[in-house]
Structure 1
């Protein structure tokens, strides 16, 4: 412990402070581990420094060694986090946790304590955001840029205590250069609002609607990171920014966000359908991949000359509309695998499931005690047909309950705006948005060729059969 730093008073920061910096084995908050921690505490007893190397229990990548100067040999005999957790907590407890890009440091420390069964909840202040608020005339607000801009002395970059000291020096410089009112306003601007990604301007959130819609996260160079939907866009977006303390994926995404755009929709169904289409179109890097498949396959049961129901794998476009369809698959292989998985516990005959061979001699499944014996005459064709239909029942698509197309009309909460969807046999043919009443003639005239989509089938069948909120079904 040393008292080498001069104590300062920081307007708006009530209570003791802990200025923290850590070094880690990498940037994944759940997979990587802390290798060093440096803490500068400020309280009524003065300003104190403390730091320690930490054995991460895993190898430090060479690229990280080159950046920080901390190698595997240096941490080999260092204490593990659990061995110094008490010392760390004594320096953090009851203090405002301050760091340059606070989400990174706090996320790692919070997870490290969580691994020990000790939940941590501290008030946070990010000096990246503080720099943006106090010095908007500058473009760069990283610690390296701040050190150069204010000629802050530092002994070693990318070492925990040196960076914590530099962060403290920046606080003191900003406090001296700016008025108490300006400094307090910048601090309170963070404490009044939920924490935002460091690269995101606060005004972006205020522009987002608190109504249904689809939102888009953008990174540097307008790189699309993520597409989401919600019945309350602003609330849903803000929920992303608390998840990053526990999720490595969410944290990585939040660190890259530079802008957010939103497309309001009439209601939840509109948002769901637009989100699905946009993800398939743009394929953002943080979304689960939703592929727009040019061809889907399904299973249908067709009766042969002996009255036996045999499964056939067909492109959806060639399926017989009057027959039940079982599943929507991206390939024939996927369809075949689903058929085999369903048939095995039902004891169906290999001659029916795997081949078109007449079931007159024992199949391989019978020899392996997998077939119940259609091929040996142990069970009847009728019984096998029943088991076949039962085994595939969970894959069955809902039958289209109307003789032709319908209009599913979604109304906005204000009662004025609408979106009309023209749907036939679970295919979305057209949509129309406006105020007042839809023009059914225009809606029909804009209909596209029917194309069954797995995701849209799921959304539309639920909306029509169970009744989506704020919707009205109009048979045509």
Structure 2
């Protein structure tokens, strides 16, 4: 049945997010060679209050878990039962995600390819409309005792597997299980101790081919988990082919998410691996300006920030912000920018012809009104019915939410991230929304500020803006180990 050793598992939790919520109850049935060898269950103290609606749903109260062991205290017992077993769960992504998160907090990496009974039911009973656990209980008469309690639901999954075996042939079930749980393995060229050596901390990793060629560069807040996923959670043939070519994995730890993203972008731009596609799309990004005639002008987003300065020269402390002065965006492409403006024109009754987005039809006088004027979606800027200055003001107003914000400081800054163990510190140097790189000391940051070329990068801008400029001008949500800001222009 499914595998020689199988664990049917169900969890109850304080909520839906493995990153923010915690486990409150674990129930599992251990099956070896088709026979139940053990039933194991425990309440778990989540270390945080259980929301009232969750208590109502599961019947597990704060009083019940107050004296229960924390996950760390039951981790060894659970780990021993999971090792070498096929994990079976309903909506397995949920249960698996919580197990991975809880073990990761203890410095352990739990990696498997679980068998999801939702997917199994869909594969074997495709004509059925619902594959929820309640639907399976009704359809297969699995009993309703102790519903939404971990042990009761884990037991139901075991009974469900037995009833499948009575209705379907073993080859059919085996093929369905194979399709759902198919997984790659660690390539033979890589050492079996790879994940013991790799840290579960932020950083950039590189896949190398047999002769050292760089195949792929990636980043993660947990190097160990992300690299393991390339080999054990393969989603398509392209990922499988990439994994098969890897002969060596190297990595560089980073202090935080911003420094990790910057180092990844720098490495991809330097080496241009064929498998890295997403960051290269950045080359099509554009900013928008409105010229003196009220028409759209597209500018490449990745341009030297101060066009009047020589490469490598620092931006002058002028009143005008050279990147913000470019106007609006950035947009991922000219087509995306045009689509955004067309949508705004419809909402704000702007004139597409005045904006340069609509040409006169053949034989039509250039002075004629635009199409939107005929259907009363234009206020008449194209035929001087609306003064040009008023239309221009409305254009800028409509695009206001897309304006590149002004740089909040009079010069360059460094966003300083420190690793959770305080052993690593990264200085991300930024000037006028242009990320100049990552260094590891104040002196190196000052040198980078003076010498680096200012180029605007769409993806990094989005990260930096989210970090430095709260949406709507409000306060940022508190984060663990927040970075600090150093004013480099003042230090240097």
Structure-1-length-normalised TM-score:
0.52
1:170-189 Cα shifts (integer Å, max 9, x gaps): xxxxxxxxxxxxxxxxxxxx
Q: Does 1:444 align with 2:449?
A: yes
Per the alignment, residue 222 of structure 2 pairs with 232
Q: Does 1:426 align with 2:430?
A: no
Q: Does 1:474 align with 2:486?
A: yes
The structure number with the bigger radius of gyration is 1
Per the alignment, residue 327 of structure 2 pairs with 325
What CA distance in whole angstroms lies between the structure 1 residues aligned with 2:444 and 2:372?
58
What CA distance in whole angstroms lies between the structure 2 residues aligned with 1:411 and 1:297?
33
Among 398, 409, 412, the alignment partner of 2:416 is 409
Q: CA deviation at 1:204?
A: 1.3
In 1, are the aligned partners of 2:204 and 2:254 still within 8 Å (CA)?
yes
In 1, are the aligned partners of 2:285 and 2:333 still within 8 Å (CA)?
yes
Per the alignment, residue 400 of structure 2 pairs with 393
In 1, are the aligned partners of 2:261 and 2:460 still within 8 Å (CA)?
no
Per the alignment, residue 197 of structure 1 pairs with 186
What CA distance in whole angstroms lies between the structure 2 residues aligned with 1:457 and 1:402?
16
Matched residues, number? 310
What CA distance in whole angstroms lies between the structure 2 residues aligned with 1:367 and 1:388?
20
Q: CA deviation at 1:426?
A: 0.6
Per the alignment, residue 371 of structure 2 pairs with 364
In 1, are the aligned partners of 2:350 and 2:378 still within 8 Å (CA)?
yes
| Structure 2 unmatched runs, 5+ | 7-32, 36-83, 87-110, 126-130, 134-156, 159-170, 175-182, 309-319, 471-475
In 2, are the aligned partners of 1:296 and 1:328 still within 8 Å (CA)?
yes
Q: Does 1:210 align with 2:195?
A: no
Q: Secondary structure of the residue that 1:229 maps to in structure 2?
A: strand
Among 350, 353, 358, the alignment partner of 2:352 is 350
1:231-267 Cα shifts (integer Å, max 9, x gaps): 22113323444433x5554444444444322111122
Q: Does 1:458 align with 2:465?
A: no
What CA distance in whole angstroms lies between the structure 2 residues aligned with 1:385 and 1:208?
56
Closer, same or farther: CA 391–252 of 1 in aligned 2, 3 Å: farther
1:152-178 Cα shifts (integer Å, max 9, x gaps): xxxxxxxxx9xx9xxxxxxxxxxxxxx
Matches within 5 A, 1:244-263: 244=234, 247-263=236-252
Q: CA deviation at 1:43?
A: 8.8
Closer, same or farther: CA 264–379 of 1 in aligned 2, 3 Å: same
Closer, same or farther: CA 404–337 of 1 in aligned 2, 3 Å: same
Per the alignment, residue 125 of structure 1 pairs with none
Q: Secondary structure of the residue that 1:350 maps to in structure 2?
A: coil
In 1, are the aligned partners of 2:295 and 2:356 still within 8 Å (CA)?
no
Q: CA deviation at 1:451?
A: 0.9
In 2, are the aligned partners of 1:196 and 1:202 still within 8 Å (CA)?
no
In 2, are the aligned partners of 1:327 and 1:397 still within 8 Å (CA)?
yes
What CA distance in whole angstroms lies between the structure 1 residues aligned with 2:376 and 2:423?
64
In 2, are the aligned partners of 1:343 and 1:353 still within 8 Å (CA)?
no
RMSD between aligned alpha carbons? 4.8
Q: CA deviation at 1:417?
A: 3.0
Closer, same or farther: CA 441–374 of 1 in aligned 2, 3 Å: closer
What CA distance in whole angstroms lies between the structure 1 residues aligned with 2:368 and 2:218?
55
In 2, are the aligned partners of 1:420 and 1:438 still within 8 Å (CA)?
no
Closer, same or farther: CA 43–312 of 1 in aligned 2, 3 Å: closer
Matches within 5 A, 1:26-425: 114-115=122-123, 116=125, 196-199=185-188, 200-244=190-234, 247-291=236-280, 297-302=286-291, 309-315=294-300, 321=322, 323=325, 325-328=327-330, 335-336=337-338, 338-354=340-356, 361-376=368-383, 379-381=386-388, 383-425=390-432
Q: CA deviation at 1:96?
A: 7.7
Structure-2-length-normalised TM-score:
0.50
Q: CA deviation at 1:214?
A: 0.9
Q: Secondary structure of the residue that 1:397 maps to in structure 2?
A: coil
Q: Secondary structure of the residue that 2:350 maps to in structure 1?
A: coil
In 1, are the aligned partners of 2:259 and 2:428 still within 8 Å (CA)?
no
Q: Secondary structure of the residue that 2:251 maps to in structure 1?
A: strand
1:383-433 Cα shifts (integer Å, max 9, x gaps): 533431243234322221122222222222333432223211111234321
In 1, are the aligned partners of 2:434 and 2:461 still within 8 Å (CA)?
yes
In 1, are the aligned partners of 2:203 and 2:221 still within 8 Å (CA)?
yes
1:308-350 Cα shifts (integer Å, max 9, x gaps): x543334555597373521235766665555445434432113
Q: CA deviation at 1:208?
A: 0.7
Q: CA deviation at 1:203?
A: 0.9
What CA distance in whole angstroms lies between the structure 1 residues aligned with 2:5 and 2:343?
63
